[in-house]
Chain A
Amino acid sequence: MATARKPMVTDEPDDQELVARFMRGDGAAFDALVRRYQQPIYWLALRYVGNDADAKDVAQRALVQAFLKVKELRDGASFRSWVYRVAANLSLNLLRDRKPTTTLADDTAVALTREPLVEEEAQKRLRAAVKLLPPQQRLVVELRIYEELPFAAVGEVADCSEESAKVSFHHALKKLRVLMNEENDQ
């Protein structure tokens, strides 16, 4: 079962209440949900697509789609999972449709070289390695590391069980180490 996002301020209504109010035609509830989620959704999209314009576009489309289909939600508390999932799917679709860019190629090249690691280069390799993760593992890493979601919520967004999310996260870390050539260095 979904866990409603805990509001930062105690008197702020939770997602379930806001979704219910929105479905009754309350425009203020719509605005409150947008304010709550536009930033994390934009940052999530930005990490995927890599530029401001596309990230804004993805964030806006994700929120609009989430509101248009909010009636399909069994539980208003799962609005967060819903909107994250829409944003991740839109980002992946955009990346799939986009032709490979030189930036990605450069990053990949950096990731596969075996020069001595300095801190900055290590971070570059790590950033490139994250981009090379399979979509599901990348999503789990994004949600766990950057959104700090519990594994149960990660599973909801990634459409898998909590255990599967944990396993995906474990495999993702393992793969990141391989991509960063850490195993060769040991």
Chain B
Amino acid sequence: MTDDELEARLRRLDARPAADWQAMAAAVRDGYDRQVKRRATVRRRRIGASVAGTLAMAAALALWLHGHHAPRPSAGEPMESFHVFEDLEPGEMIEELSPADVDRVAKAFNKGA
């Protein structure tokens, strides 16, 4: 059997039955529209989830910052009204003072004396 004969035999196997082409076209249109809507819904949900996640992370970060970096409320006098020499020896305290401060301290000492 030659190639041509075999090809002719193959062609005779072909069957092309009619179908309801309009119904099939409508089904394709419906299927496509359904898939497009479904994809749009999934996309909206993903975007919504992403926004919600971002907001949640931002809120968590804000809470953390507030808890760790907010100024602590003072119990008594305002912080700027007095000066504290932390861990300084008396001589070091004088070195920390400016000349004007030293004069002021000396005057106060002499008055007291």
The answer to whether B21 and A35 touch across the interface, beta carbons within 8 angstroms, is yes
Q: Which residues of A contact B1 (CB under 8 A)?
A: 177, 182
The answer to whether A145 and B11 touch across the interface, beta carbons within 8 angstroms, is yes
How does the 8 Å CB contact mask read for A80-113 relative to B, with 1 for contact and 0 for none? 0000000000000000000000000000000000
Q: Which of A63, A64, A182 is packed against the most chain B CB atoms within 10 Å?
A: A64
- Main secondary structure on chain B at its contact with chain A? helix
Query: Residue B68 at the A interface, CB < 8 A?
Result: no
Q: Which residues of B contact A141 (CB under 8 A)?
A: 10
Q: Which residues of A contact B41 (CB under 8 A)?
A: none
Q: Which of B7, B10, B27 is packed against the most chain A CB atoms within 10 Å?
A: B10
Q: A11-38: which have CB < 8 Å to B?
A: 30-31, 34-35, 38
The answer to whether B12 and A52 touch across the interface, beta carbons within 8 angstroms, is no
The answer to whether B13 and A126 touch across the interface, beta carbons within 8 angstroms, is yes
Which residue of chain B is the closest to A35 with respect to CB atoms?
A: B25
Q: How far is the CB of B8 from chain A (nearest CB, A)?
A: 10
Q: How many residues of A contact B (CB 8 A)?
A: 31
With A68-B32, A177-B6: A38-B13 Cβ-Cβ less than 8 Å: no
The answer to whether B25 and A34 touch across the interface, beta carbons within 8 angstroms, is yes
> Which listed residue (B6, B17, B24, B39) contacts A60, Cβ 8 A?
B24
With A43-B16, A126-B10, A127-B13: A38-B25 Cβ-Cβ less than 8 Å: yes
With A52-B19, A123-B12, A126-B13: A31-B25 Cβ-Cβ less than 8 Å: yes
Query: Residue B29 at the A interface, CB < 8 A?
Result: yes
Residues of A participating in the B interface, judged by any CB pair closer than 8 Å: 30-31, 34-35, 38-39, 42-43, 46-47, 52, 56, 59-61, 63-64, 67-68, 122-123, 126-127, 130, 141, 145-146, 173, 176-177, 182
21 inter-chain pairs at a CB distance below 8 angstroms, sorted by A residue, are A30-B29, A30-B32, A31-B25, A35-B21, A38-B25, A39-B16, A42-B19, A43-B14, A43-B16, A47-B15, A52-B17, A56-B19, A56-B24, A59-B24, A60-B31, A64-B32, A67-B32, A123-B9, A145-B10, A146-B11, A182-B1
Residues of B participating in the A interface, judged by any CB pair closer than 8 Å: 1, 3, 6-7, 9-17, 19, 21, 24-25, 27-29, 31-32, 35-36, 39
